[in-house]
Structure 1
Amino acid sequence: MSTPIPRPGAHLPGPLQSVDPEKIHSEVDGLLSRLATVEPDPGDEHGIGVIPRKAHILEKAHDVLVEALAAVDKI
């Protein structure tokens, strides 16, 4: 008698997804390219206001990568 071994990601909700590396790459590249366009507000003397906006963009890129890894685990 053998016990079935659970597949990685089988516990994650949702349908199985396919993973398109080119799509993931282009999404992350698109987000990262936006980092260079973040400009400080005119009244922001030291440019500190750009940090939260850049952090938000980096979080989005991180989310794309995490979702891709979760999808790969389900395959």
Structure 2
Amino acid sequence: MSTSIPRPGQHLPGSHPGVDPARIHVEVDELLTRIRESGHAADPAAVIAGQAELFEQAHEVLVRALSTVDKI
């Protein structure tokens, strides 16, 4: 006999947000494009700092997607 195991957050009311892989790809692709285009500043330290910020944003997009999938 098999019983289902409740998933984390399953007991919470409301709809479960879905993950749209196409939207995730678009968001990350846009950020990666901005990273590639950001390498033209005169100050290398500013370039690296700007690129690090964009990579952090792309990371957050992916973490949110994984977190959402984990809750479904």
Q: Same fold (TM over 0.5)?
A: yes
TM-score scaled by structure 2?
Answer: 0.76
Structure 1: where are the runs of 5+ without partners? none
Percent identical: 47
TM-score scaled by structure 1?
Answer: 0.74
Structure 2: where are the runs of 5+ without partners? none
Amino acid aligned to 1:26? V
- After TM superposition, which residue ranges in structure 1, 4 or more long, deviate above 6 angstroms? none
Provide the C-alpha distance between the structure 2 equivalents of 1:37 and 1:65, rounded to a whole number of angstroms. 21
Matching of residues 1-75 of structure 1 within 5 Å: 5-7=5-7, 9-10=8-9, 16-38=16-38, 39-41=40-42, 44=43, 47-75=44-72
Aligned residues: 67
**Structure 1's 55 and 73: CA in aligned 2 closer, same or farther, altered over 3 A?**
same
Larger fraction in helix? 2
Contact 1:17 1:74 in 2 (8 A): no
